[in-house]
Every structure is written in structure tokens, then in C-alpha cells.
Amino acid sequence: MKAIFERSYVKSGTGNDVYVYSVEGTDTELANYKKAQGKNYREDKESGKALWFSSRYSGEVADLIITSKGSVIADMSEMRKQASLVAQFGGNLGQAMAEAAAAKLLGNKKPVASTPTTEPEATAEPDGLDKL
């Protein structure tokens, strides 16, 4: 089952951010989702699509899972694996991995390019060496 980011809003009274996702899946997945949500099940009034609400941004597209206790959560295991690799390797490799993971989370197809480094310009040989 997939959650597709639709919009966000600030909840009145608490000031907390709420992220709204539409839910896509097979008929069986959607029926299981509706059952798991129970009285909290909501549909978009215009599109009729099932909605999932979260206090945490889970990316532009996220996999949804229903836990053994019946809760619906975003499956963030892939992001946790990537964060672990970034922490393990650090340096330039870790930075490149972090940029690729962030791009994926935000729905970009290509990672953000790092600022390229340039080689220093060649200069004339020190006095006398160019005459050898």
C-alpha cells in the first residue's frame, strides 16, 4: 500500500503539523486499511480516496504497513538503513549517500549534485626551470 503526499496543515489548538496522504493499493489492501483505521477512517470529499494522517512527514511517497496490533504506519525501514550507512561511512561517501537518500525522500529522481571542485590553474615554471 502506498501513501501519496497531498497537503499539510497546522492543527488548531495544538499548533502541530499534520501531513495528509492519499492511500493507494489493491482492493484487499484498501479494505484492510479501512478496517484497521476503524472510526478514524477518512476519505477525501472530492476524490473519494482513503486518507492517512501523520504528525511526521514520510516523504512524497511512502509504503504503509499495518502492524500486528492493527496500527497503520509508514514503513521507514529503508530510510533507517540508509541513515545507518551514512553514519558508518561518514566523510565524502557518507555525504553523497545522505544527499541521495534525501533526494529519494523528497521524490527527486537524481540526487542533488555536490559543488564540484576545480583543479588549480597551471602556472609558469619557477624561474629557470622552464629553460632546461
User: Which range marks the domain in which residue 47 is found?
Assistant: 2-75
Where residue 126 falls among pLDDT bands split at 50, 70, 90? low
Which of helix, strand or coil describes residue 112?
Answer: coil
Same domain, residue pair 42 and 107? no
- Is residue 130 in a domain? no
Q: Quote the number of domains for the chain.
A: 2
- Is residue 88 in a domain? yes
Whether 1 contacts 35, CB under 8 Å: no
d(CA 50, CA 8): 16
- Is residue 9 in a domain? yes
Q: For 43-97, what is each residue's pLDDT tens digit? A: 999 999 999 999 999 989 999 999 999 999 999 888 888 888 888 887 888 888 8
Same domain, residue pair 19 and 40? yes
How far apart, in Å, are the Cα atoms of 50 and each of 19, 34, 36, 94, 132? 14, 8, 12, 37, 79
Same domain, residue pair 38 and 101? no
> Is pTM, for the whole model, over 0.95?
no
- Is residue 131 in a domain? no
- Is residue 62 in a domain? yes
Same domain, residue pair 68 and 80? no
H/E stretch holding 92? helix 91-105
